[in-house]
Structure 1
C-alpha cells in the first residue's frame, strides 16, 4: 500500500486559493460525496484563512492512499507552520475516507494560467450551487415534515384532550357507579332490616314484649337510645318528663326533629334542640294505627340522622304502631273473654259424702281462650251432677257459647234427667239452634249413699277413676258423638262401682293432648300421675292434690289451650241416705254397656 503526499507552501491568498482548488479537484476525482466534500473544503478554507490572518509561512500537506481489499482509500490534509517537526502531530489534521481508489494529486494549480485558475474557482461555485440546491430540497422537505409534524402534533394534542376528557368522564362514571352501588347496598340493608324488624314486632301479640324488643333492634346502629311513650298506658306515662318534640309528634301526628341545626329531612318538622338532650339530635315519630297511640323517641347514633335511615324509621314506626294496636286490642279481647269465662265458672257445692276440687288454667299463648268449663250442682232428688265440657273455637264467641250451653244443661238437669238424657237434649238443641257449634262434654251423677256412679260422654276424653289403693281405671268405653254434629243420636249411660274413698278425675283435652305425642299418651300419663298421688294427700286436701296432679302434666305444655280439671272424691265411709229420700234415690237400671270397656293402671299408695 503506497501513500503519496504533496506539500504546499502557503504564504499568500493566491497560494491558499491554488491549494484549495487542488484539494477540490482531488476530492472530485475521488468521487467523494458532495456534502462531505463541501464540508471538508469549507473546513480547510477556514483553517487557511486563520493561518493567513496570523501571518507567517504555513505548510499544507496533502496525503493520499489508494484503496485495497483490506481497507478503503483516504485523502488527508494537515496544516502546520513552516519548519514544524514532521514527527510532531500537526495543529490541524483532517482525513476523509473515499470508496473509490484515491488518485495522487494532478498537476499543480500554480502551473496553470490565470484563466484555468478562474475556471477552477468558478467550478468551486458549482459545488456550492449543488449544495445549496440540495439544501433547498432538504429545507422544502423539512418544511413539509414540519407542517406534517405540526398537523400531527395538533392531532396528538386533540387526541390527548379527548383522552383526558374520556378519562375524566370515565372517572365520573366510576364515581357515579360506586355511589349508586353504595346507595343500592344501603337501601338493600335498610329494606332487609325493615323486613326483619317488622317480622319481629308483628310476631308477638303482647305489647310489653314488643316494647322490650325495640331497643335491641334499633340500638346502637340506628339510635343511641330508643324509647316508646304509649299515650294511654299508665306505666309508660309515669316515666319522667317527655321531650317537647314527643309532645308535638303526639299532637300533630307528624315526625319531629329537635337539634341545633335544621335537618332538612323529608316529611319531618324541625324544632329547637331539646332541653333533655341539647347536644344530641332527637327524632320523635308518632305511632299511628287508627289514631296516634304513642311516640317512638330516638337519639341519633352520631351527630345526625341520615335521610334514607329516617325514611326507613318512619315506615318501621308505622308498622310498630299497627303491631302495638293489634296487641292492645287482642289483650283487651282476651281479658274480656277470660273475665267472662271465669265469671261463668261455678262455685263448687259442699255435699256430704263427696269432696270436689277444680282447676281452670286459661291459655297463655295466642288468642286461645276457649270454651273449657266445669260445673257441679245438685238436682232436686239430692243427686249431684259433675260436668266438664269443651266448646269448639276460641275467644269471646266460644266463651259466650259455653255460658249458653251451661245454662241449658242446668235447665235440663232440673227435670231430674240422667246424664244420657241431658246430653241427648243438649245435642238436639245445638243441632237446631247452633248448627255451626260443636262441643264435647262428660257428666257423672253421684247419688248419696250409693256405691255407684252413672256417667255419659259426648266425644269427651274418658274419666279416670282411682281406688283408695292407688289402682287407676280409665273409662274408655266408646264415647258418643260430639254435641251438635248434624246426626240424630241418643247417648247411653254407664254405671261404675265406686269403692268408698275413690276419686274420679274429669278433665279437658288441654291437660293431656300434645301435638307431638297424641292424646292417648297423655291419658296414660294422667293415669300414672293420678296413681302416684298418695291416699293421705287425697284425704287431707283435695285442692292440694289437684295442684300436685297438674305439675307433672303441664311441664311440657305449650300453653296454647285451656285446661280444666275436676276431681270428685267419695268419702271413705259414706253416710246412709235419709229415710224420706230412699224412694227417690233408688238406682236406675244400668244400661247393657254399663261398666264395660274399662282399662286399668294400678299402683299401691
Structure 2
C-alpha cells in the first residue's frame, strides 16, 4: 500500500467545520479510540480557529503506507499529529468541499456521541479516582499509624542502643583498667629495688590517670611531714585512702577531707603504700575537678600492689644484706707463704639475689703445704651462702686431719649427700708443697684449671673430674699431679667466669686460656694486677648471671 496525501486550503469557518467533520469521520472509520479521537479533534479545532477571522489555513492529511493517519497544519505555528489506526485508511481521500450539509450534521452528531463516550469514561474515571482517593486516605491513616509505631520502636531501639553503648563503654573501660593493672603489676614486680619501683610508679600513672604524682616514704627524712599535704599525712597515719578537694569526692572506700592548702583548686587522692605497715603514700593530682569512681577503685588496688612490691623489695634487701654479711665473713684472707704467691677475686652476679655459693680459700696444712680451694654451691641466696660456709668449715677440718685433696673431696661428698640431699656443689683443690715442683690436685665436677708455664706456654688440666659433691651415689675421688716449676701460674675459677648464655662453657675456657697466655711478665710479678688484667677480657660485657670466683696461684723460688 502506498501513501496517499491531500492538502486542503481552508478559508472560512464553514471550510474549517467541514474539514474537522471529515477528519472525525475518517478517524471513526479507522477505529481510532474515542478518547484519542476526541483529544485529536479538540486540538485540531484550536488550530483551525484562524478561519473565523478570514485567514487561510492549509491542512495536509496523509494516509501513510503503514496504515497510520498523519495530519499537519501549516502556518506560523505549525502543528502535526499522527494517529495509529486499527483499520488502515485507504485512498483516495475525500475533500471537505464534497461534504454536504446532511453529512456535516451527521458528523456533528457523531462528535456528540464521541463526547458522550468520553464523558462517560470520564465519569468512570472520576468514580475510580474517588474510590482510590478513599483507599489512599485509609492507606495514609495506616501509614500514619505505622509511622507512629515505627517512631516508638525507633525510640525504644535508640534507648537500647544507648544502653548497649554505655554498657560496652563501661566494659571496655573495665577491660582497659584491668589490662593496665596487670601490666602495671608486672612492671612493679620486675625489680626488687626500692628506687626502681618509685621511679616506675609516676611513669605508669602520668598523664593517663593523674596530672602529677608524688611518692612519699615515711622514713624519708628529706621532706618532713609538716611540708606534706595534710591528706598524705592522714593516709600515712590511718592507713586509709584520703581525698582532698574543693568539694567531696564521694569515692568508694575513700575518706573525704577539705581541700589541701598545697592544692586548693585541684583534688588530691592520697593512697597508703604497704601491707604489714604503711611505708609511704602515693599522692595523685587530678586532671580535672574530680576523680572517676571506677578509676579510683583501680588506683586503690594499684597502690595496694605497689605496697606489696615495696614490702617484697624491703624484705629482699634485708635478706640480701644478711647473705652479704655471711658471705663476706666466709671470704678468707689469703696467707703469705714461702714459694707461693696468691691473689683472689670475687664478683657477685649482676642479676637476681647477687649472693651465691661461690667461694675460695687458701690455708696451710699441718705438714707445711698450702691448700688452695675454689668451690661453687648450686643456687643463690641465703641458703647457698650458709651451705657454702658449712662446706668451707668442714673442708678445713678434714684438711687439718692431714687428708689429701682426693680424700677431702670424698669426705665432703659423703657429708653433703647425707646432710643436704638435693643440694650439690663443685670443688677443686690444689696442694702446694714448699720445695716440690709438683702440685697435687683433685676436682669434683668443677671446670678445669688453667696452667701457664714459666716460658708462657698455656694448657688446660683436662683430666676427667669426679662427680659433683652431693650426688646421691657413693664415690671415691682421685688425685692428679702436675709439674709447676718456679714462675708457673695456676688459675682456679668458678663457671661464672667462663659460661655465658650466648656461648658454651668450652668457648669460655678457651677465652680464659688465651687471656692467661696474654698476661705480661710484669703483670705476673704483681699477681693482684694480673687478676685485674685477667678479668677485663673475660667480663667485657659487664653483665653476668652468676657469681665469679678467681684464685691465682703463682710458684716462686724459695
TM-score by length of 1: 0.69
CA gap of 1:177–1:433, structure 2 versus 1, over 3 A, is closer
Residue in structure 2 matching 1:561, options 531, 539, 546: 546
Q: Among 525, 536, 551, which residue is 2:536 paired with?
A: 551
In our comparison, the structure showing a higher alpha carbon Rg is 1
SS, match of residue 377 in structure 1? strand
Conserved? CA contact 2:213–2:283, under 8 Å: yes
> Distance in 1 between the 2:347 and 2:445 partners?
21
Question: In 2, Cα distance between the equivalents of 1:327 and 1:198?
Answer: 14
The answer on whether the counterparts of 1:338 and 1:362 sit within 8 Å (CA) in structure 2 is no
Matches within 5 A, 1:217-296: 217-232=204-219, 234=220, 241-296=227-282
1:160–1:424 CA distance, 2 compared to 1 (3 A): closer
- 5 Å-filtered alignment, 1:105-504, equals 157-232=144-219, 234=220, 241-367=227-353, 369-504=355-490
Q: Cα 1:190–1:344, aligned 2, differ >3 Å: closer, same or farther? A: same
Task: State the Cα distance separating 1:567 from its structure 2 match.
Answer: 0.8
- Compared with structure 1, are the counterparts of its residues 452 and 365 closer, same or farther at alpha carbon in structure 2 (3 Å cutoff)? same
Offset of 1:253 from its aligned partner? Answer: 2.2
Query: What's the counterpart of residue 59 of structure 2?
Result: none
Q: Is the 8 A contact 2:500 2:544 kept in 1?
A: no
* CA deviation map 1:169-204 (0-9, x unaligned): 233223223323322322222222222212111122
**CA separation of 1:101/1:516 partners in 2, compared to 1, >3 Å: closer, same or farther?**
closer
Q: How many matched pairs?
A: 452
Stretches of structure 1 lacking an aligned partner (at least 5 in a row): 4-64, 75-96, 103-133, 576-605
Q: 3-state DSSP class of the match of 2:279?
A: strand
Between the aligned partners of 2:433 and 2:115, the Cα distance in structure 1 is 160
Mapped to 2, the partners of 1:383 and 1:335 lie a distance apart of 36
Which structure 2 residues correspond to residues 38-77 of structure 1 after superposition, within 5 A? 72=108
Deviation at 1:374, TM superposition (A): 0.6
Provide the alpha-carbon RMSD of the alignment.
3.0
- Where structure 2 has 5 or more consecutive residues not aligned to the other structure, the ranges are 1-12, 16-100, 117-122
Distance 1:69 1:242, change over 3 A: farther
Distance 1:361 1:348 in 2: 17
The normalised TM-score by structure 2 is 0.74
- Summarize the Cα distance change of 1:267–1:101 in structure 2 as closer, same or farther, 3 Å threshold: closer
| Cα pair distance change 1:66/1:322, threshold 3 Å | farther
Residues 471 and 151 from structure 1, CA distance in 2 versus in 1: closer, same or farther, beyond 3 angstroms? same
| Contact 2:274-2:310 at 8 Å conserved across structures | no
Deviation at 1:437, TM superposition (A): 2.6
Q: Give the C-alpha shift of residue 358 in structure 1.
A: 0.8
Deviation for aligned residue 1:542: 1.5
1:99 counterpart residue number: 113
User: Are residues 1:514 and 2:528 paired?
Assistant: no
Q: Secondary structure at the match of 1:373?
A: strand
The 8 Å contact of residues 340 and 553 in structure 2, kept in 1 or not, is answered as yes
How far does residue 309 in structure 1 lie from its aligned partner after superposition? 1.6
For the residues of structure 2 that align with 1:549 and 1:240, how far apart are their CA atoms?
A: 54
Match of 1:536, SS?
A: helix
TM-superposition CA deviations, 1:291-317 (whole Å, max 9, x none): 333221111123322222212211211
Q: Tell me how far apart the structure 1 counterparts of residues 114 and 137 of structure 2 sit (CA, whole Å).
A: 42
Q: Distance in 1 between matches of 2:506 and 2:102?
A: 133
Report the Cα distance in structure 1 between the residues aligned to 2:257 and 2:213, rounded to whole angstroms.
Answer: 19
Give the Cα–Cα distance (whole angstroms) in 2 for the partners of residues 487 and 100 of structure 1: 130
Residues 262-310 of structure 1, C-alpha deviations (whole Å, 9 max, x = no match): 1122221111111122222111112232333322111112332222221
For 1:470 and 1:528, how far apart are their aligned partners in 2?
A: 11
Shift of 1:73: 5.1
String of CA shifts for 1:45-85, please: whole Å, max 9, x gaps: xxxxxxxxxxxxxxxxxxxx9996997559xxxxxxxxxxx
Q: Deviations over 1:568-591 (max 9, x none)?
A: 1122xx22xxxxxxxxxxxxxxxx
